[in-house]
Structure 1
């Protein structure tokens, strides 16, 4: 078996590997080196993370289990520092040497940072990876004034995200109007007006010459002498191909790593793909051309006869801060072009189609892009428009996505530009695979997996292809993953009806398309089985998420964090001494007080985890689990002159009762002894605020990026009522939420009034608490009954994590 090594673990490179696995799954022994600590994820959706619309887990394209299932050896947090072209081997920054028969360089790009004084100060970042997002989110917790340099797509997305984080944002742009590569002045001015209404401030035609401040930034100075204050500076002015490893190895490099039409570099058996590659003097930054390159390279490397890559005509369909945009080809008129234009400021719609010699050569669309697919086809196919009127060019008779329009659409029409999926490929998959839902089509063909903008058109193709068999409601149903058509409700019903008792049995009986399941469905099935079979279900640890398997959170450098339990944030001198001794013995780089009033040990090596837990001899704080993480408390009436209730006692009781309880997502609580709310109870999943004569219970708060104030559920008088309401509320959440659905999203979906109505019934409340107590019993069993697993590491974990804190 030939050895295939890939440097880089990004979207273009891994898509190439996917294509290779389709063509020749047994031909290569594959090794991938990734600089980041993560599996392959969707960089297109980084702005969604910054803007609070999604989590990192949701943008992972290929989870770690995918690499294992395909026998791919993945080294994360490890960079290649040398390619020995003569010996055909690569050497990593950790001294690892791996030989290759074929080598793919897919190192991508990095943010271009202006080479100006002060660019190395704290508070300066690009916007290229998850680490950049995390830096911006953390900065927003402490600072309030941000400046984004660059008024292109990336800069505007960053600015929108920073506004969502509560920062005041200035956008600095060198040119007279925004997004000058995609929009003409009319569309750009409409966009600027809309974004100003959303809270952005623009400093146009400004050239930054210096970043001010000592260690951390305090502002910017422009060429005209003016200045602006800033606590955070985000540079979003372009990307720079990562070519250093190729250049140092003697491979020909210009702006990018120069490749031919088959993605071959100047060195034998070495290829380049993605944003690091330069083809015919062009470096592409959009995902669609990079995926086209990946298909060509896969054919070449597998020895197949395939078409060469001849470059791409790119159409840019975007959604900037809620506004739909599309552009392709030429965007500015010249004496040889004729334009068709609609300019409707009232409705916020602008369309411009440029023609030359009866051919469409350029498109700019703002506010209404539903005809963009059809027009882009006419542009790329060079369709003669001489017999068409301006109205018929601007809009199809049936309206984009109508059945007539889908029917007349040729099979080679590109539907998903990001993933290169045509109408014909979608129709073929629907007919041959028996697909009936949008989720299934997306999973099978990749259409809609990246930016998701093509999903309405995919739905229309699905409806047209199925005809009378199309069920609109069923088609929009969200299955728990691509391995099944079952939704959460259907899966739970099937488990109950058929008496299914194991993850494997569920997948076999319910005819999973992937008999091993995936990292989305296996943890979900494991949770639902545990929730349904409260007494006798044996937890399937192999189906747990990776951090739960390790009983620690992996950090970006590949080490782990360990967080022992401290009930209500209260500790003892003995526990503090143990933590200190462990930190000293294992050279823990960082000992930090966490936001949940715990002490975290950061930077622990994987092999030291069992011994660390053994020597701590403390229960885990489950900082990695889908369970009750923390109960944050203030000192309360015992010590504080404002406190009206004993917050520490209630917090400890809550934490001891509900610790280790499996929940659909992580749950955090806060207990404040008075309305001053020092424990931030108003932004927790469940918060308790002491008042004269009782407690207020707040639910579904969220203190993360997607900030949400909790809703008042009930006001009660006693601690017993607190425990009763909390138990019933948590159990109802456990029984009705989708796996990985936070309480904030769940309550918005089911409705506060509905939950109040459910909990108002004493009999229902009692039944929910009985099921909760029945579930909690299994966590109180002696640890010795839970160490049947022969792995000694699991014995450590069983003893110290499953047993109730001693």
Structure 2
């Protein structure tokens, strides 16, 4: 098989690349290889699938006709096992080889699984894709699960907890750090989140970890590092993900924590591009190349790669970590340094706590927003992120920016027009907070 454009990874980055390629080249052949037996779907929505709120069809990222209309061949349930950059060829798990003109690698991330005694028992799951959600769904029904333990109180753990709670399952969350969602929420916001989560019956065990999975052949409980035991019929390991770089390393590409790309999303091999969770791209807040494993950055990185693969030179201006979520009825939007790094210096923090929520901004010495956190009151998150993305000096409006009624009217006229009609190509847009 031959492909002018071969995309490894059927998710946000791969779809973004395919769309961009078709904007430039209507005729070149596109082949997408995906390990899962599904067409591209919204991974942030798997919790809604598990809870029964959405069907598989409802969380598809693009409808099936998208692939037909754009003459895209999808090979689902097939894994890319090796890349030969000299021969311009990719070997697949089904025995086929695909010759490519341009190649995009978007393999995503894999779950972090700590060494836990007994973690091989039935009833232990990860929670990063549809396969995991389907396996959990089947196990819950087959075993009539009433109690579950989740290791990890971060984004993945909270989404799993929200879904399981909606199914009427009693949930215990085990979190090593001092509060839940600690990578995006500071201590003050963490306390508010904890009060909300526990009001739904979830039990929080912070400052602890699981040392042993109890049960003969299947989970009957867990033992914490302090010896305390919790009865449970299921364990979900939701600590986080790390870049899947094995394929890239074996291909001889430059890899640090993630595969290294330039501002065109091109790797160290001329005709090979990369994007998404396995990629190190430019972070405009930290002014460095970092792994930013979030959906909007993967999609936009894929689009930039696609344009360049098709011959339209396009520069990625940078993204940053951003999250927009709703767990247990909490609306949360964060971006950049929502939690200050240990070595942070020369930064100013302004915040406000009201009956309706909590807002915080982090400003650098030039008055530019380098971090934002909104909990409860997220209506202005898009405007604030726009100011952050554009690196605007917000000192003239600092006294009003956290007001409940803050809006475009507070911005200078030229800035207001830019936010209403400006070009955000290659950057995460404020509208992404509404996804």
TM-score range, shorter chain: 0.7 to 0.9
Give the corresponding residue for 1:211: 213
Separation of aligned partners in 2, 1:223 and 1:271 = 43
Query: Which runs of 5 or more structure 1 residues have no equivalent in the other structure?
Result: 424-446, 456-806
Q: Under a length normalisation based on structure 2, what TM-score does the superposition of the two structures give?
A: 0.88
> 1:337: how far off?
3.8
Alignment of 1:517-536 (within 5 A): none
Give the corresponding residue for 1:277: 279
Give the corresponding residue for 1:314: 321
Are 1:364 and 2:373 matched, yes or no? yes
The equivalent position to 1:342 in structure 2, one of 324, 327, 352, is 352
Give the corresponding residue for 2:285: none
> 1:290: how far off?
1.7
Alignment of 1:413-562 (within 5 A): 453-454=433-434
Distance 1:348 1:199, change over 3 A: farther
Distance 1:77 1:331, change over 3 A: closer
> 1:250: how far off?
2.7
- Name the structure, 1 or 2, with higher relative contact order (CA <8 Å, separation 6+): 2
Give the corresponding residue for 1:794: none
| Structure 1 residue matching 2:220: 3-state secondary structure | strand
Give the corresponding residue for 1:380: 389
Distance 1:184 1:240, change over 3 A: same
Separation of aligned partners in 2, 1:56 and 1:132 = 13
The equivalent position to 2:305 in structure 1, one of 272, 275, 297, is 297
Separation of aligned partners in 1, 2:168 and 2:423 = 34
Distance 1:8 1:361, change over 3 A: closer
Distance 1:304 1:408, change over 3 A: closer
1:113, 1:119 within 8 Å by CA — same for their partners in 2? Answer: no
Give the corresponding residue for 1:155: 157
Which structure is higher in helix share? 1
1:415, 1:454 within 8 Å by CA — same for their partners in 2? Answer: no
Distance 1:257 1:86, change over 3 A: same
Separation of aligned partners in 1, 2:250 and 2:330 = 44
1:287, 1:419 within 8 Å by CA — same for their partners in 2? Answer: no
Distance 1:259 1:335, change over 3 A: closer
| Structure 2 residue matching 1:175: 3-state secondary structure | coil
- In our comparison, the structure showing a higher alpha carbon Rg is 1
> 1:416: how far off?
12
Separation of aligned partners in 2, 1:383 and 1:87 = 47
1:123, 1:216 within 8 Å by CA — same for their partners in 2? Answer: yes
Separation of aligned partners in 1, 2:211 and 2:414 = 56
1:108, 1:274 within 8 Å by CA — same for their partners in 2? Answer: yes
1:377, 1:413 within 8 Å by CA — same for their partners in 2? Answer: no
The equivalent position to 1:199 in structure 2, one of 201, 217, 236, is 201
Give the corresponding residue for 2:362: 354
Deviates more, 1:379-388 or 1:118-127: 379-388
Separation of aligned partners in 1, 2:7 and 2:109 = 15
Separation of aligned partners in 1, 2:364 and 2:228 = 44
Residues 716-740 of structure 1: CA distance to partner in whole angstroms, max 9, x if unpaired? xxxxxxxxxxxxxxxxxxxxxxxxx
2:184, 2:339 within 8 Å by CA — same for their partners in 1? Answer: no
Aligned length: 422
The equivalent position to 2:402 in structure 1, one of 375, 394, 399, is 394
| Structure 2 residue matching 1:9: 3-state secondary structure | coil
Give the corresponding residue for 1:102: 102
2:16, 2:300 within 8 Å by CA — same for their partners in 1? Answer: no
Are 1:240 and 2:246 matched, yes or no? no
Which structure is higher in strand share? 2
Residues 227-269 of structure 1: CA distance to partner in whole angstroms, max 9, x if unpaired? 2222111111111222222223333333222222222223332
Separation of aligned partners in 1, 2:238 and 2:193 = 18
The equivalent position to 1:177 in structure 2, one of 179, 183, 186, is 179
Give the corresponding residue for 1:513: none
